[in-house]
Chains A and B, each alone.
Chain A
Amino acid sequence: MHVITANRLIDGFVVFLTEAGDWAENVLESLVVTDDAALQQALEAGKTAEAEQKIVGAYEIEVARDGGAVVPVKFRERIRAYGPTTHTDFARAEYPGHFDHPDGVEPVEFKRD
């Protein structure tokens, strides 16, 4: 199971290819592909979006189902999807335990408006 991810050109934010063919910040909205043909088609959509100056560097990542949600398998990709584990304000989607740290450490919260 895969989704396609990239960085948006204008602000560098992490985005995911959706079913509608646009690029969303929340991994939960991503198009999930389960066979190779669909994967190749999705990667082509990525190439097109790059050529249209929407995104850069599209590639596929492995995901798994967790209840109703789609979750990246690799830790690095979870950090890209949910945000740095050090700052709760920069989170884009929710994942239980993403901000849990041992030894009494709390992530930073800036509380900016």
Chain B
Amino acid sequence: MIAIALLLGQGFASPPVPVHGDIFPCADHRIPRTHEGQFVACNSAGQPILRIDPSTRAIMQATALEPITPPIDLIPPPMLGSAPAVTPHGVAWVVGSRDGRRSLWWRSSNGAAPIVLETGRTDPHHPVTDGGHIAWVSHERITIYDPVSATRKHIDAETGFNAAPAFDRGVVCWEVRGPADVDIACSDGVRVRRDDHQTQPVLVGEHLFFRERGVFWVWDRSS
């Protein structure tokens, strides 16, 4: 299966398909994206008012959306525009500094004082969670952090230049720059390599969603 997946777009058995026929490119480059377990996408007018169920891929709602990141009371405050990764064990977030460097902070849910998980030297950013672990991007690698054992695992990856990696059930997928465009690589060996840029990966179980030419595509990894 992995061997076939590596050839995705070049005769793959079940190629990716657009998530929904009524999704159009957005002026807002952050969209399409996930929000509260659903996909936010744009209508034909480019307005980000569609919500799509990732499993059924049906349009659930067509109304105005709430702000993207709910404010969380964190000290030091998160860097503007960064999304914290919230787990039952605690929360990880990015803190910016005046010199343009970013550092990654962790506040355990046991009430302990916040600590720095990684300093600004490696420019850590884009923390994400699969519900238990935390993953983030720093210089030429992705770090997966187990908050229970406080252990870390590293994956060599030059990413984090555009969107956060996807992280679900221990599998990480991330954007990677190829010779001509951006593709998506995953920690289980899968690589989405097609014409044009594939960006903003989102993993939901066996489904890998990504953005291509402004709209969301989905690939069923189990097929």
Chain B associates with chain A: no
Give the B-binding residues of A (Cβ under 8 A): none
Give the A-binding residues of B (Cβ under 8 A): none
